[in-house]
Structure 1
Amino acid sequence: MAERHLEIEQKYDAAADFVLPGLDGLPGVAALGEPEVHELHATYFDTADLRLAANGITLRRRRGGTDAGWHLKMPAGPDGKQELRAPLGRPLVVPARLAGLVAVHTRGAELRPVATLQTTRTVVRLFAADGAELAEVADDLVTGRGLDAEPERWREIEVELGTGTPELLKAAGKRLRKSGAKKAKSSSKLGRLLGDAVVPSQAAAARSAARSRIAAATGNGKAPALTTGEVVLAYLAEQVEAIVHFDPKARLGEHDAVHKMRVSVRRTRSALRSYRSVVDTGRTRPLGPELRWLAQELGEVRDREVLRMRFQGAPDFLLDDLERQERAAYRRLNACLKEPRYFELLDELDRLIADPPLNAEAGKKARKELPGLVTKAWDRMAGEYASIKTAADPDTARHETRKEAKRARYAAELAVPVLGVAAKRVVEDAKRIQGVLGGYQDGVIAMEHLAEAAKRTRVPAEAFTLGVLYGKEKCEAERARDQLATTWSRTLGPSF
């Protein structure tokens, strides 16, 4: 397992004759450590077209200093990076765990050395009165060399927080700037060295452009001027961006990451279905089964996460079994996210945004077309709901109603930038229906799990406990089922 570390820092460019100012008197600082000098040698790895650098990610193998080893840094906020570390290992073999965390970008492309940095680092540590390390200030003399390029030399100052506050980071930066340092033009040494060689991918540029168009139009009060295609494309771009964003978090098992990634996959699939009159279905239809496959793989983990949270406080034998199942599901998910099939799906999603398959309907005014499309999605849900009373299998009808409620919700979410409050009301109505049916479905799944667990146990006390829990889940599921009619009666539906 790679070691994790949240790095919060700011970088400053400095002239060769820059003199580090006194650092005493900064917020919370009671003492300064003696300067420490380290010689660091780092080799940076990326794809031939620098995909990691284009996404603000750095992957390096560094010798020297107190943290020699492999370092993977991924963006985590304006001044933060999530850093994961692994032992030095072999010089040219990227640790599999770190390579997997950037696979959503590399997609099977080789990771190879792209630059080296030789740094003479002078570190001054800032301590609180109780001895806690608040921050460290690193004064770096850097010699960098990209592939087939002449070496470059520069000076850089880094302030990295330990247990210190953002006020300390801000005050240190103010003191450095007052002494002549300037906020760094690049967020990383590698970015500075590679410069113009780092170019955003066509897909990333297209996603940014789609979102910017919506932001500009709604910010200026011109949302009615948007076309239906522009609104659909911006929504899809947002979902694809989320899938890419949550991929490494899901691999790491971060809280709620699998759920959020799965929701983005479902939103993408739902939008392509609800707005199929706007897109060329000849191009988008093959995406449906692939998105469904990915959602199911994510669902294997998510279902067990939900059960584990649902059974908090249950006996250890049940929770231990669930945790084993969840770990196994995570292993299967990580294997799935390494498959060429997954990378091909990501490539197709990129093409969906970079070269959108919009048809003539997409050129129509969104303000005119979206109400009808949202209402159509709502009507499909209403039709499924009406079928519950006469269905041979009411549970199947409830399940279908829940799926259509999600689609109606997502269809209305897409329309919010244009239709505003009216669309938000539809979102909330559909969400309530989905919530009630979800409560029922969760209870059914919990009962199924308990029934399977009961088949495996040979201990009477365990069987009795499982029976008690089954009865509780049955009551809660029936309560949720019985709330459906009341909840439906309180929904207004679309009123555009």
Structure 2
Amino acid sequence: MRSAESGRKYELSLKARVPRLAGEGVTQEAPAERTLETVYYDTKDFRLTRAGIALRRNSGTGWSLKLPSQELRFPLGDSPKAPAQIATLLRAYTLDRKLRPVAQLRTDRFTHRLTDASGRTLATLADDHVTGEFLGGPAVRLDRWRELDVEAGPELLDRLDRTLRKRGAENAWWPSKLQRLMGDAAENKRGSNEVLPAYLRAQFERLRRADLGFRVGEDDSVHQLRVAARKLRSALQTFASLVGRKKADAVTAELKWLGAELAPARDAEVSQARLEACLDEVSPELVFGPLRQYLTRDFARTSRTELARATEALSSNRYAALLRSIAALLDTMRPAGKKALRKPLRKTARKLCRATAATEGLSGVELEKALHNVRKKAKRARYAADAVRPAFGKKLRAWRKHVKAVQQTLGKHQDSVVDRAALRHFAIDGFSENQNTFTFGLLYGRDEAAAKMLQGRFADEWRTLRKGARPSWLKV
């Protein structure tokens, strides 16, 4: 991606002469001419354009899928129809709607090279004469315009900028040729700007970005998918009365299914990273046998299985139906004022208090289960606060901060529970293979001690939460 320091884009009258940028040791060569014909594809309601995604077919270079973080290229092929591979990648955005041509551009490009005395390229000036047809409206829209695209080093770029402006060039108003041609046709037509719909839309967008990331092999995409699904589910459960309980319940049930399909793949990643980090902290003289290789082998097998499971889920009709249901729900949400938002948040706070009270007098496995329940209630309370935070003041932010501290501490506590179960599994399997399992027992003991320490920290953080600042209506 080109930075602001290396390139700038301008507009210039179609009748103006090509700006001469030569001088002071710079020579401007005669232009190299090239014609580019590009067809842009989108759904009928411009779902890709609204998401900042551009799909185009160029007669010379093939298919290009420009995403916010990268650009993917595909061979041209014989058919003008978007390839099935691309349609699959974009499924979370198109929701299986047909991809069709929405615009076509013809660009007559004249590229001037600016060189020094030795012939070394100092800058390039692309003079684009563009003819565009917008095909996505009730009638075909034609337009013609001219763009200048300059690439150079920062110092020369500033000098060229001054010269171009003297020749009548102005900063380009539109970020891309397609958006100029389309105008406001693809503008998002959203309803209320109040906080809850905005939060839900943001999480849905996060889920779609992660879906696309998973399909192109981006790291951490399973984690991002899972987090977005969890936040959507939590907010819909908390604010179901404002969203429409029947619709909210149906979507949350499917989000729960999706989370269950994604969880094992993510859990395997996290467990492996944590156990390997713990192993790094053990003195070499206390590490017996090929433990790291043992962990790598076991988790690699698990990861392959669980990633296949996640892939199958994301390729299913059930998942596609879930995406359509979320989009439909967001399109029909009713506005809700601050007063209406308070009751659901207060309810989550009460549930958190009751879950904490239920831990009193427990020990061992029963305490671990109860603390895990507190963690889940704290997470829901935190997500609820995140959803409505823009509507309330600093006191809610302070309460949310304390809730987050409780959730994170209990998250680490739950990690120790999961790790101990895994270590016990490895110790049993290792023993059956005649491995020395002393180190697994050592790590088990350390996790057990860490769990007790985290229980004490939770007690302190809970007292801070109970005494901390919060809005008066949130006191329970």
Q: Does the 8 A contact of 1:246 with 1:257 survive in 2?
A: yes
Report the 3-state secondary structure (helix = DSSP H, G, I; strand = E; otherwise coil) of the residue aligned with 1:406. Answer: helix
Matched, 1:264 2:248: no
Moved more, 374-383 or 390-399: 390-399
Q: Does the 8 A contact of 2:20 with 2:28 survive in 1?
A: no
Which amino acid in 1 is paired with 2:228?
S
Distance change in 2, residues 1:437/1:72 (3 Å): same
Report the 3-state secondary structure (helix = DSSP H, G, I; strand = E; otherwise coil) of the residue aligned with 2:67. Answer: strand
Corresponding residue to 1:192 among 173, 180, 184: 180
Show the counterpart of 1:300.
Answer: 264
Report the 3-state secondary structure (helix = DSSP H, G, I; strand = E; otherwise coil) of the residue aligned with 1:119. Answer: strand
Which amino acid in 1 is paired with 2:355?
E
Matched, 1:156 2:147: yes
Report the 3-state secondary structure (helix = DSSP H, G, I; strand = E; otherwise coil) of the residue aligned with 1:490. Answer: helix
Q: Does the 8 A contact of 1:12 with 1:158 survive in 2?
A: yes
Distance change in 2, residues 1:144/1:419 (3 Å): closer
Show the counterpart of 1:395.
Answer: 368
Q: CA deviation at 1:317?
A: 4.8
Which amino acid in 1 is paired with 2:145?
W
Show the counterpart of 1:220.
Answer: none
Q: CA RMSD in A?
A: 4.0
Q: Distance in 2 between matches of 1:132 and 1:450?
A: 62
Matched, 1:419 2:392: yes
Q: Distance in 1 between matches of 2:27 and 2:420?
A: 60
Q: Distance in 1 between matches of 2:316 and 2:116?
A: 49
Q: Does the 8 A contact of 2:237 with 2:248 survive in 1?
A: no
Report the 3-state secondary structure (helix = DSSP H, G, I; strand = E; otherwise coil) of the residue aligned with 1:240. Answer: helix
Which amino acid in 2 is paired with 1:232?
L
Q: CA deviation at 1:290?
A: 1.4
Q: CA deviation at 1:394?
A: 2.0
Q: CA deviation at 1:139?
A: 2.0
Q: CA deviation at 1:384?
A: 0.9
Moved more, 437-446 or 44-53: 44-53
Matched, 1:441 2:428: no
Q: Once the two structures are superposed, what CA deviation does each residue of 1:87-145 show, in whole Å capped at 9, x if it has no partner?
A: 3344435455543332222111222334433333233467999x998875422233434
Moved more, 308-317 or 372-381: 308-317
Q: Distance in 1 between matches of 2:121 and 2:426?
A: 49
| Structure 2 unaligned blocks of 5 or more | 281-291
Q: Distance in 1 between matches of 2:451 and 2:352?
A: 21
Q: Distance in 2 between matches of 1:290 and 1:146?
A: 38
Report the 3-state secondary structure (helix = DSSP H, G, I; strand = E; otherwise coil) of the residue aligned with 1:269. Answer: helix
Show the counterpart of 1:79.
Answer: none
| TM-score of the pair, normalised by structure 1 | 0.75
Distance change in 2, residues 1:444/1:71 (3 Å): same
Q: Does the 8 A contact of 2:272 with 2:295 survive in 1?
A: no
Q: CA deviation at 1:434?
A: 0.4
Distance change in 2, residues 1:256/1:460 (3 Å): same
Q: Once the two structures are superposed, what CA deviation does each residue of 1:7-31 show, in whole Å capped at 9, x if it has no partner?
A: 87654332234444455799xx999
Distance change in 2, residues 1:146/1:409 (3 Å): closer
Moved more, 250-259 or 403-412: 250-259
Show the counterpart of 1:14.
Answer: 12
Report the 3-state secondary structure (helix = DSSP H, G, I; strand = E; otherwise coil) of the residue aligned with 1:38. Answer: strand
Moved more, 467-476 or 349-358: 467-476
> Is the radius of gyration larger for structure 1 or structure 2?
2
Show the counterpart of 2:351.
Answer: 380
| Structure 1 unaligned blocks of 5 or more | 77-81, 212-229
Q: Distance in 2 between matches of 1:334 and 1:171?
A: 52
Q: Distance in 2 between matches of 1:88 and 1:194?
A: 24
| TM-score of the pair, normalised by structure 2 | 0.78
Q: Does the 8 A contact of 1:42 with 1:60 survive in 2?
A: yes
Report the 3-state secondary structure (helix = DSSP H, G, I; strand = E; otherwise coil) of the residue aligned with 1:158. Answer: strand
Which amino acid in 2 is paired with 1:205?
K
Corresponding residue to 2:457 among 474, 480, 483: 483
Distance change in 2, residues 1:376/1:44 (3 Å): closer
Moved more, 425-434 or 462-471: 462-471
Q: Once the two structures are superposed, what CA deviation does each residue of 1:416-447 show, in whole Å capped at 9, x if it has no partner?
A: 22331110111111101101110011222233
Distance change in 2, residues 1:95/1:102 (3 Å): same
Distance change in 2, residues 1:389/1:100 (3 Å): same
Distance change in 2, residues 1:157/1:430 (3 Å): same
Which amino acid in 2 is paired with 1:42?
T
Aligned length: 449
Matched, 1:205 2:196: no
Report the 3-state secondary structure (helix = DSSP H, G, I; strand = E; otherwise coil) of the residue aligned with 2:147. Answer: strand
Q: Once the two structures are superposed, what CA deviation does each residue of 1:146-165 show, in whole Å capped at 9, x if it has no partner?
A: 5484865432223468xx56
Q: Distance in 2 between matches of 1:168 and 1:300?
A: 53
TM alignment of 1:235-384, pairs within 5 A: 235-310=199-274, 311-312=276-277, 315-319=292-296, 321-322=298-299, 325-326=302-303, 329-357=306-334, 362=336, 366=338, 368=339, 370-384=341-355
Identity of aligned residues (%): 36
Corresponding residue to 1:40 among 36, 39, 44: 36
Report the 3-state secondary structure (helix = DSSP H, G, I; strand = E; otherwise coil) of the residue aligned with 1:193. Answer: helix
Q: CA deviation at 1:286?
A: 1.1
Q: Does the 8 A contact of 1:31 with 1:126 survive in 2?
A: yes
